[in-house]
Every structure is written in structure tokens, then in C-alpha cells.
Amino acid sequence: MAERILTKKPTRRLETSGAKKARWIKLVNFETRESASILPDLGAKVRELVLRCGDDLYSVLEFPPSADDTAEKSHYAGAKLIPFPGRIVDATYRFAGKKYTLKVNSGGHVAIHGFFFDKPYDINKTKVGNKSASVILTTEHDGKTKGYPFKFSVLLTYTLASGTFTCATEIRNTDSKPIPIGDGWHPYFRTSGSVKRLLLSIPAHAVVEVTPLKVPGGEMRKPVSRRTTIPLSNRTLDSVFDFGETRRKVTTKLIDRQRAVEIQMWQDSGAGRYRYLVLYRPPSGTSVAIEPWTCAPNSFNNGMGLIILKPGRKFKGSYGVRLKKLQS
């Protein structure tokens, strides 16, 4: 992606492709030339993330070439997955004794990845410091979505600092009754070329067994008590990992030994936080999705990691990305 002219503070612009327009905001570190581009009108998607490692700049996210392409195809790249990540089987669930039917938006008669992936957000505030820049985005749900008659608000704080990018998420129940809620992020990470030569390093975990519909089937593999490294050479990958109830910060690493760099995806884990991790290798073979989720797929039915917020209560959690130079 071509480099854009940098300015002295976060800027709002219009990027035009064909007859449509999509607003985007760019956070910039002028000393390091790192940047993060966000689309507030398209679900607060993180479109581009450029981080420095040593003397080199890396564009670490794979994303459709234009904002219009993203809008037209409802692409999930870089999207927030609210109020549930993953699939809801048959697009139905029961909560508080009532049955609800969601809109089917994927094959197999399922609802997938919530309905906030293209929701517009308001730019609430921007802040520029000597070594960081941040933007606060806000939006609300009025409870009028098919199958989800619950009200809530969302506040996202995206921050770019030297070598790091962070998202802090706050979801508040603004309804008069308890609500079921989940959240996730759907980035596709890359270094350059094919992912076949890359390695994934995963913290201690348990693997959640899934059915052909990619939802938990009720089985868990024996927990792995240490970090595990797997090669991506000739490997299909679409897996769910559980980091357990203990609250801690965990880091998944995408390692490129040829370029002597690793992408580190960290998340606040444990009960009521981003307890789960989804790893997916798309058919393109040029990127890997490393996704922090608060819950497992189909959580509205199986309850795995499901967060139930009482009126006025909040969910708060953070995750982020950083680069590290490998030692020779």
C-alpha cells in the first residue's frame, strides 16, 4: 500500500473510490513514521497498521485494497465482532427463558460475527502526546436489531505508541434488563509473501474441539501447560483455543525467521476478558487471522465465555499488537 503524507496530529479524511466515500482517521507517530488507519463509518475497522522494528517499517495487516470494496463485500478484516464473535447455530438462541431468532448472514443457516462489523461510530475525541496518539470512538445499539432486543453502548480507544498498537474496549449495558454480550477482533496478519515459512507460537492453552460448522462440540483436548510452536508450512488452520479462567495477559507470536521479526498479538485473558483465541489461515496463503475473543463460537447457546451484563454494568478489556526483532 502506498505511503500517505503524514500530518502533525490525527486527521479525518475522505478516501474516494468510484462513486462512494468512506471516512478514515489516521494515527501517526512522527518520530518513527508508524501509523494506524481506522474506518469509523465501517465498524471501526482497523484498515492498516504500520509498525517499526529496528530500521524497518512493516505493514502488518492484510486488508481489501479500498474502503468501498470493504463496504460492498461486508468484509470482516480488521472488524470488531459485537455482540458475538463466531457462529450462532440456526441463528437462534434462548436467553432468560425466551427464544430469539437472529438474521441469517452466512451459509448453513447461521448468524456470524454479530452485526457491528459495518456499524458507524462517532469520533468522540482525539489526543496527541509526545510519544503517542489516540482516538476514542463511540456508538450505541437501540435494541431494534432482529433477534437482539437489547440496548448497549460501545466505547473504543485506539492508541498508537512506539512499536505498539492497542485497543481498549468498553461495552455498557444501557438496558433495564440483563443482556448477553461478547466481543472479538478479526485481523489478518502478514509479514511478506507466503505464510508457509512462518511459525506460530501459542501460550499454554486447551484446544476446543469444533464440529464441521466450526462450533464447539462439547469436547476439550488435554490442556497444554507450556508454550507451543507450530509451523504453517502446508497447514490448514481454523482452531479455537481456551486460555482458561485465570486473569492474565497472554501473547501469541507470528514468527518470520527470514526477516528476523515476530508479530506479537497480546490480549487480556481470563474470565470476563478475552479468554479465547481463534487462529485461521485463509485460502490466500498470505496472512493468518489471530483473533482475541471473549467467548467461544455459539456462546449464546453453549455459554462458553458468555458475558451477562446487568443494567448499568460494563465489560472492559484490551488487546494489542507489537513487533519484536529476533536475535540472530
Q: Mean of the pLDDT values across residues 79-97?
A: 96
The residues near 37 (Cβ < 8 Å, ≥ 6 apart) are 24, 25, 26, 27, 46, 47, 48, 49
pLDDT at 143: 97
What's the pTM value of the predicted model, to 2 decimals?
0.91
CA nearest to 128, candidates 223, 240, 27, 271: 27
pLDDT at 165: 97
Query: Residue 9 — very low, low, confident or very high, per pLDDT cuts 50/70/90?
Result: low
Q: Is the dihedral of CA 129, 315, 298, 110 positive or negative?
A: negative
What are the φ and ψ backbone dihedral angles of 221, each rounded to 5 degrees? -75, 160
pLDDT at 15: 47
pLDDT at 67: 59
Residue 12 has pLDDT above 60, yes or no: no
C-alpha distances out from residue 226 to 63, 203, 243, 321, Å: 32, 6, 11, 22
Residue 275 has pLDDT above 60, yes or no: yes
pLDDT at 11: 52
User: Which residue ranges form the domains of the chain, and what is each CATH number?
Assistant: 27-325 (2.70.98.10)
pLDDT at 214: 85
Residue 16 has pLDDT above 50, yes or no: no
Q: Mean of the pLDDT values across residues 86-94?
A: 96
pLDDT at 6: 32
pLDDT in tens, 93-145: 999 999 999 999 887 789 999 999 989 999 999 988 877 899 999 999 999 99
**% of the chain with per-residue pLDDT over 70:** 90
What does the block give as the cell for 155?
A: 466505547
**% of the chain with per-residue pLDDT over 90:** 71
CA nearest to 211, candidates 182, 240, 188: 240
Contact 157, 124 (CB under 8 A): no
Average pLDDT value for the chain: 89
pLDDT in tens, 141-197: 999 999 999 999 999 999 999 889 999 999 999 999 999 999 999 999 998 888 999
Q: Name the least confident of 73-77, 99-103, 236-240, 266-270.
A: 73-77
Q: Where are the extended beta strands (E) located within 211-282?
A: 216-220, 228-231, 238-242, 248-256, 261-269, 276-280
pLDDT at 57: 94
pLDDT in tens, 21-71: 568 899 988 888 999 999 999 999 999 999 999 889 999 999 887 656 665
What does the block give as the cell for 128?
A: 496527541
Q: Mean of the pLDDT values across residues 286-299?
A: 96
